[in-house]
Homo-oligomer: A and B are copies of this chain.
Amino acid sequence: IPSSKLLVKGGTVVNAHHQQIADVYVEDGVIVAVNPNIRVGDDVTVIDALGKYVMPGGIDPHTHLDMDVGFTATVDDFFSGQAAALAGGTTMHIDFVIPLNGSLTAGFEDYEKKAKKSCMDYGFHMVITKWDETVSKEMELMVKEKGINSFKFFMAYKGIFMINDELLLEGLKKCKSLGALAMVHAENGDAVYEGQEKMIELGITGPEGHALSRPAMLEGEATARAIRLADFVNTPLYVVHVMSIDAMEEIEKARKSGQKVIGEPIASGLGLDESWLWHPDFEIAAKYVMSPPIRKRGHDRALQAALSTGVLQLVGTDHCAFNSTQKARGVDDFRKIPNGVNGIEERMHLVWDIMVESGQITPSDYVRLTSTECARIFNLYPKKGAILPGSDADIIILNPNSSFEISAKSHHSRLDTNVYEGRRGKGKIEVTIAGGRVVWENNELKVTPGTGRYIQMPPFSYLFDGLDKKDAIYLNSLQAPVKRVKAST
């Protein structure tokens, strides 16, 4: 039986707000002390972290484990996906509940079941695809009783998930009243549909047609629209998978004006470019198909820069894994290729290599982007996202002088491919501690189904601070109704 007492010794403890050389003492899954030179008894497992970074475990805000897409489901379930996550230094994720036959409650129960086998902590967002009184009431229920504080709206996938502006406005209003965060998948679905038709007409049926059918301007358009509608309602907005300069610049503009908009780039958007979709081997090309598409070289660098300057706030993955045989469904028509790439296991290493090793951000920034800000946005800080007395003992130890290499052969996901196949970089997560348990050490996983906990997320995160003041100021500013001399005569 492993000890429930741990001491992580001599490392550089990094929080989003500060870094210092210190020991971290853990008891029963919780961090008890963070100080230099903590002395402990023999019953404590001591982990040496000298010369290494001790940081909060990663939180992935955007995953799709065990997601049913009708003709098939993603290959990683709540166990395999989470095991992969832990091997990559991520100790919590937030998955998207899909309503079942239109019912939020049924969807929630479905995901509760799926998540039974969890080996790490997780939370849920909820997808909204239609609008009526029942949906509205179920949203309230989800927030008040089920620990959900975010709802996602799809502006694309015409005929499936796509909602129109009227529904989006209703959703935004409801979110605001509940203190829940509205999230959008932002692409103009009508134009995407048009673009797909055009590509097929041009005889472009391969994976490259996927990218060509939904250019960045359509992501920019929908992002701009969602932002303005959220501004109109005066409620915070979270834009998932920001893949393009176009979308990023809209977020930048809104934030500059003081609007509360969160932009989430994902690992694949930061580390890949669309050229793979032109690969002559369909199997290779197809594995890069996701929406919005991975963009042309240049977008990746711009998204990195936006992360480093605070225009974007946190990094997700949209981990949504389909095997080659599943992807092959669209061999004659890119529209039939199931959308999604892996990332839950690779995110933490990639962000370190791409962002910290290049001098774009500091380790403190890294912690903020991969963990702390996610915890703050979804109202879990400082329980999650920090190495502070009282925080959950979700901890990673990263050796900046070691290196990593990614391959489907060695990864822990069930996926038979990897979009980062062969990629190497600096910085290696050598230890992952989740809930006070050492689950990854010496390149070995020690995970147990059922040990992961569902983390309820309370509404009214910091993004809602000052909102009522702004509403009051707005109402005062109207100088209306005007009292009119001539009444209706």
Contacts and interface: CB of A to CB of B under 8 A. Distances in A.
Interface stretch (A12-20, A100-108, A174-182, A438-446): A12-20
Interface string A408-438: 0000000000000000000000000000000
A221 interface: yes
A206 B255 contact: no
A282 B190 contact: no
B332 A278 contact: no
B469 A359 contact: yes
A278 B359 contact: no
A232 B283 contact: no
Contacts of A16: 17
Interface stretch (A140-148, A337-345, A472-480): A472-480
Interface string A471-489: 0010100111111111011
A442 to B, nearest CB: 30
A191 interface: yes
From A231, A255, A258, residue with most partner B Cβ within 10 Å: A258
A195 B228 CA distance: 13
B165 A470 contact: no
Interface stretch (A81-89, A115-123, A304-312): A304-312
Which 7 pairs between the two chains have the least Cβ-Cβ distance?
A359-B469, A17-B17, A359-B466, A165-B190, A221-B228, A331-B488, A204-B480
Given A191-B165, A309-B256, A486-B282, A204 B478 contact: yes
A180 to B, nearest CB: 19
B469 A358 contact: yes
A164 interface: yes
Given A258-B360, A359-B467, 10 more contacts: A17-B18, A191-B229, A204-B481, A221-B225, A256-B311, A257-B305, A281-B484, A281-B485, A285-B482, A360-B466
Interface stretch (A58-66, A70-78, A127-135, A207-215): A207-215
Contacts of A290: none
Given A232-B218, A282-B486, A310 B308 contact: no
Contact of A480 (B209, B252, B481, B482): B209
A466 B362 contact: yes
A480 to B, nearest CB: 5
A484 B190 contact: no
Nearest to A332: B488
Given A218-B228, A231-B217, A309 B478 contact: no
Instruction: State the copy count for this chain.
Output: 4
Contacts of A311: 256
A299 to B, nearest CB: 15
A169 interface: yes
B362 A482 contact: no
B208 A480 contact: yes
A6 interface: no
A244 to B, nearest CB: 12
A166 interface: yes
Given A217-B228, A359-B466, A381-B18, A205 B481 contact: yes
Nearest to A192: B232
Interface of A: 15-18, 164-166, 169, 188, 190-191, 193-195, 199, 202-206, 208-209, 212, 215, 217-218, 220-221, 224-225, 228-229, 231-232, 252, 255-258, 278-283, 285, 305, 308-311, 331-332, 357-362, 364, 381-382, 462, 465-467, 469-470, 473, 475, 478-486, 488-489
A232 B285 CA distance: 25
Given A191-B165, A258-B308, A470 B359 contact: yes
A305 B221 contact: no
9 contacts: A191-B232, A208-B479, A215-B232, A221-B224, A258-B309, A278-B482, A281-B484, A358-B469, A362-B465
Contacts of A364: 462
A444 to B, nearest CB: 32
A58 to B, nearest CB: 18
Contacts of A231: 217
Given A358-B469, A462-B362, A469-B359, A482 B225 contact: no
Contacts of A232: 191, 194-195, 215, 217-218
Nearest to A298: B298
A470 to B, nearest CB: 5
A228 B470 CA distance: 31
